[in-house]
């Protein structure tokens, strides 16, 4: 998961850093803490947020995963950030990312889910739009997409 997560962050698909070494350290820490069910030490208002990793299996192996963080500590039912979605290269192009994202939108308890990616990440922007996310902001080298389930009847 770590290597695949770093690869996707390096491509800028979701919340990716422009600096690969920083992305590697950040993803390693996030995944380690999320798998260990520990609060994430972030700066400011996001300090102590919870994180969860959702894994999709195929043919008995992990083929895709998503990393989701609370927007602020205790916001699981209100607002979360889809931080990373990754599908193994040999499983890409089969609709697994779309399936995983659709299930997250349907089953995450949060009313609002948002994701950020670099403008150059055409594949991720397309995937988010297919799942019903709408672009709500652009700036700081990232495009922010959001889906408000209460407005969509999801």
Please report, for the chain, the start and end positions of each structural domain, with discontinuous segments joined by +: 2-152
CB 16 within 8 A of CB 118: yes
Report pTM.
0.77
Query: What CATH number has the domain spanning 2-152?
Result: 3.40.630.30
| 3-class DSSP state of 133 | coil
- Report the candidate in 71, 14, 18, 13 with the shortest Cα–Cα distance to residue 42: 71
The number of residues in the chain equals: 154
Q: In tens digits, what is the pLDDT along the chain, a chain of 154 residues?
A: 656 666 666 665 555 444 445 555 566 566 666 655 566 767 788 888 888 888 899 888 889 989 898 999 999 999 999 988 888 889 989 999 999 999 999 999 999 999 998 887 888 899 999 999 999 999 888 899 999 988 866 5
Consecutive H or E run containing 142 = strand 142-148
CB 144 within 8 A of CB 114: yes
* Cα-based angle 34, 35, 36 (whole degrees, multiple of 5): 90
**Strands of 134-139's sheet in order across:** 51-58, 61-70, 79-87, 112-117, 142-148, 134-139
CA gyration radius for the chain?
A: 14
Q: What is the pLDDT of residue 132?
A: 92
* Cα-based angle 123, 23, 36 (whole degrees, multiple of 5): 100
46 CA to centre of own chain: 16
Calpha distance 154→44 (Å, rounded): 31
């Amino acid at each position: 998961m770590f290597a695949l997560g770093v690869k996707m962050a390096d491509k800028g698909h979701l919340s990716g850093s422009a600096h690969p070494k920083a992305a590697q350290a950040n993803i390693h820490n996030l995944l380690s803490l999320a798998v260990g069910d520990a609060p994430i030490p972030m700066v400011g208002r996001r300090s102590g947020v919870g994180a969860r990793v959702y894994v999709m299996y195929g043919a008995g192996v992990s083929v895709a995963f998503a990393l989701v963080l609370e927007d602020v500590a205790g916001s699981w039912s209100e607002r979360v950030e889809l931080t990373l979605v990754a599908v193994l290269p040999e499983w890409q192009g089969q609709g697994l990312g779309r399936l995983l994202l659709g299930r997250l939108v349907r089953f995450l308890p949060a009313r609002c889910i948002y994701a950020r990616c670099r403008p150059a990440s055409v594949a991720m922007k397309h995937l988010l739009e297919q799942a019903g996310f709408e672009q709500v902001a652009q700036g700081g080298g990232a495009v922010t997409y959001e889906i408000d389930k209460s407005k969509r009847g999801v």
